[in-house]
Amino acid sequence: MSSLIPVTQEEFCYLLSLLSLSLSLSLSLGVLGFELRTLCLLGRCSTTSALPPALLSILFFYVDTCFQRWTPTFMRRNPFGVDICCRKGSRSPLQELYNPIQLELSNTAVLHQMRRDQVTDTCRANSATSRKRRVLTPNDLKHLVVDEDHELIYCYVPKVACTNWKRLMMVLTGRGKYSDPMEIPANEAHVSTNLKTLNQYSIPEINHRLKSYMKFLFVREPFERLVSAYRNKFTQKYNTSFHKRYGTKIIKRQRKNATQEALRKGDDVKFEEFVAYLIDPHTQREEPFNEHWQTVYSLCHPCHIRYDLVGKYETLEEDSNYVLQLAGVSSYLKFPTYAKSTRTTDEMTTEFFQNISSEHQTQLYEVYKLDFLMFNYSVPSYLKLE
């Protein structure tokens, strides 16, 4: 029965308010009895009808003071369940984010409020396309990684530092198994069973976590992310699974005089062909985009799930360490810094887009438009839109 022992401020306050309630109830009943007697002695029993409302307001006073302030967060935490065990007395990341104690955080808090507003406004302004679907199913939540111990939900977006963030999530959920994120090999970070995702829970459990955990994601300039995906999956000789799975299909569909060898290997897809494949309406009708070039909008559902924090690749370390700070782990966990020599840059992206016709550029922009607007990326200066 150890889980019944109140451990956090909220739970303590909850018990306190219960105590006050019963105290006030018995006091009020006593007063009521006394007044009734006095009034009846004076022969004015009828005015006692005014007392029940008075009694009710005393009750509501207690309900208001403690209950309303504390129970909303507490009730969601399932008082008699197992959730209580791990955050003894500390503030949740959501409390840290929305009610920061330290004042120096307030500039950062304002910045993140602006980013949240930008997402909300874009969703509203584009509601015809952004909310085509009314509800999500558990299957839509496969990219939302859950950390129960620190009450975090991270939606991973490939090509936006997702390997390092998965490593961090493994350290956070590992209960001491790992201490240094970089000791985890990259391929192990991508083993799906190493992290728990939100679709693995029951519907009530999903709703509870969406409400009370801090939800965050990391985004990147959409075309830079796209070029990064192209370079990583199609220009590197070693990864044959993407060549076989997508390369052969792209060449077959987009290259007029493809050689037998190219059709078989699928290992020399040109960026122009990749773009033609992306804007071809058939592509998404057949199957959803691969996650490496799927829009953030479709991977993380920001118009249905209200993210508390939008991190950006452009300010990766800063934003990542802010998340770790809110989670209360920044004293022993930092975002790993790494060599960025092969990273796709804006100049590189400009070069890749030089060979794309303005017609295709316009169509491609349409595919990724919501990601541009929602995360406040301006139309790239190299783009020649029609």
Nearer to ligand NAG, 179 or 355 (CB): 355
For position 118 contacting ligand NAG by CB under 6 A, the verdict is: yes
Taking the complex as a whole, the smallest distance from the CB of residue 158 to ligand NAG amounts, in Å, to 9
Q: Which residues of 201-239 are buried (b: 16+ CB within 10 A; e: fewer)?
A: beeeebebbbebbbbbbbbbbbbbbbbbbbbbbbeeeee
* 145 φ/ψ angles, rounded to the nearest 5 degrees: -85, 135
Of 162-191, binders to ligand NAG (CB under 6 A) are: 187
Contacts 24+ apart (CB under 8 A), 140-143: 140/199, 140/301, 141/197, 141/198, 141/199, 141/206, 142/197, 142/199, 143/197, 143/291, 143/299, 143/300
Q: Which of 78, 199, 239, 284 binds ligand NAG (CB under 6 A)?
A: 239
Closest CA to 319 of 263, 375, 369, 236: 375
For position 345 contacting ligand NAG by CB under 6 A, the verdict is: no
CA distance 154 to 322: 14
Q: Which of 256, 282, 285, 340 binds ligand NAG (CB under 6 A)?
A: 256
Nearer to ligand NAG, 74 or 274 (CB): 274
Nearer to ligand NAG, 115 or 220 (CB): 115
Of 2-21, binders to ligand NAG (CB under 6 A) are: none
Nearer to ligand NAG, 76 or 116 (CB): 116
Amino acid at 34: F
CA distance 221 to 379: 10
Nearer to ligand NAG, 64 or 351 (CB): 351
Q: Which of 2, 107, 137, 378 binds ligand NAG (CB under 6 A)?
A: 378
Closest CA to 69 of 116, 12, 24: 12
SS (H, E, C) 120-144: HHHHHHCHHHHCCCCCCCHHHHCCE
For position 381 contacting ligand NAG by CB under 6 A, the verdict is: no
Q: Which of 23, 56, 86, 114 binds ligand NAG (CB under 6 A)?
A: 114
**Binding segment (CB under 6 A) for ligand NAG, from list 78-86, 90-98, 112-120, 194-202:** 112-120
Convert residues 302-341 into a mask of x (bound to ligand NAG by CB under 6 A) and - (unbound).
----------------------------------------
Q: Which of 3, 207, 355, 358 binds ligand NAG (CB under 6 A)?
A: 355
**Which whole-number Å values give the CA distances from 367 to 3, 33, 198, 294, in the listed order?**
50, 73, 27, 10
For position 376 contacting ligand NAG by CB under 6 A, the verdict is: yes
Using CB under 6 A, list all residues that contact ligand NAG. 114-115, 118, 187, 238-239, 241-242, 256-257, 271, 351-352, 355, 376, 378
